[in-house]
Structure 1
Amino acid sequence: MQQKRNIQIIEWEDLDKKKFYSFGLFMTMTIRATVYPATLIRTRLQVQKGKSLYGGTFDAFFKILRVEGVQGLYRGFMVNTFTLISGQAYITTYELVRKYVSQYSEDNTVKSLVAGGSASLVAQSITVPIDVISQQLMMQGQGQHLTRFRLDSNTETGKPKKVFGQTRNIIAQIFAADGFRGFYRGYVASLLTYIPNSAVWWPFYHFYAEQLSKLAPSDCPHLILQAMAGPLAAATASTVTNPMDVVRARVQVEGRNSIIETFRELIKEEGFWGLTKGLSARIISSTPTAIVMVVGYETLKKLSLRPELVDSRHW
Structure 2
Amino acid sequence: MEDKRNIQIIEWEHLDKKKFYVFGVAMTMMIRVSVYPFTLIRTRLQVQKGKSLYHGTFDAFIKILRADGVSGLYRGFLVNTFTLISGQCYVTTYELTRKFVSDYSQSNTVKSLVAGGSASLVAQSITVPIDVVSQHLMMQRKGEKMGRFQVHGNPEGQGVIAFGQTKDIIRQILRADGLRGFYRGYVASLLTYIPNSAVWWPFYHFYAG
TM-score, normalised by the number of residues in structure 1: 0.55
Instruction: Decide whether the 8 Å contact of 1:133 with 1:183 is kept in 2.
Output: yes
For residues 141 and 125 of structure 1, the distance between their equivalents in structure 2, rounded to whole angstroms, comes to: 28
Identity of aligned residues (%): 75
Shift of 1:138: 0.3
Q: 1:31-83 deviations in whole A, cap 9, x for unaligned?
A: 33232222212222332344443344344333323333211110001111222
Gap runs ≥5 in structure 2? none
Change (3 A) 1:68 1:158: closer
Instruction: Decide whether the 8 Å contact of 1:64 with 1:142 is kept in 2.
Output: no
For residues 5 and 143 of structure 2, the distance between their equivalents in structure 1, rounded to whole angstroms, comes to: 48
Q: Which residue of 2 aligns with 1:45?
A: 45
Q: Which residue of 2 aligns with 1:148?
A: 148
Task: Report whether the alignment pairs 1:69 with 2:74.
Answer: no
Q: CA RMSD in A?
A: 3.2
The structure 2 residue matched to 1:106, chosen from 102, 108, 127, is: 108
For residues 41 and 165 of structure 1, the distance between their equivalents in structure 2, rounded to whole angstroms, comes to: 22
Change (3 A) 1:42 1:95: farther
Change (3 A) 1:33 1:164: same
Change (3 A) 1:62 1:6: farther
Q: Which residue of 1 aligns with 2:30?
A: 30
Shift of 1:152: 0.8
For residues 190 and 143 of structure 1, the distance between their equivalents in structure 2, rounded to whole angstroms, comes to: 32
Task: Report whether the alignment pairs 1:10 with 2:10.
Answer: yes
Q: Which residue of 1 aligns with 2:184?
A: 185
Write the mapping of 1:136-215 to structure 2, written as runs, cut at 5 A. Answer: 136-141=136-141, 145-154=145-154, 157-158=157-158, 162-199=161-198, 202=201
Query: Which letter maps to 1:76?
Result: G
Instruction: Decide whether the 8 Å contact of 1:41 with 1:61 is kept in 2.
Output: yes
Partner SS, residue 153 of structure 1 = coil
Change (3 A) 1:130 1:202: same
For residues 108 and 183 of structure 2, the distance between their equivalents in structure 1, rounded to whole angstroms, comes to: 36
For residues 190 and 148 of structure 2, the distance between their equivalents in structure 1, rounded to whole angstroms, comes to: 23
Instruction: Decide whether the 8 Å contact of 1:112 with 1:203 is kept in 2.
Output: yes
Change (3 A) 1:44 1:206: farther
Change (3 A) 1:6 1:177: same
- State the aligned residue count: 204
Instruction: Decide whether the 8 Å contact of 1:139 with 1:146 is kept in 2.
Output: yes
Gap runs ≥5 in structure 1? 211-315
Q: 1:7-29 deviations in whole A, cap 9, x for unaligned?
A: 32322132122332233332333
Change (3 A) 1:48 1:190: farther
Shift of 1:94: 2.1
Partner SS, residue 151 of structure 2 = coil
Q: Which residue of 2 aligns with 1:134?
A: 134
For residues 13 and 143 of structure 1, the distance between their equivalents in structure 2, rounded to whole angstroms, comes to: 54
Query: Which letter maps to 2:108?
Result: E
For residues 47 and 40 of structure 2, the distance between their equivalents in structure 1, rounded to whole angstroms, comes to: 11
Instruction: Decide whether the 8 Å contact of 1:155 with 1:165 is kept in 2.
Output: no
Query: Which letter maps to 2:183?
Result: Y
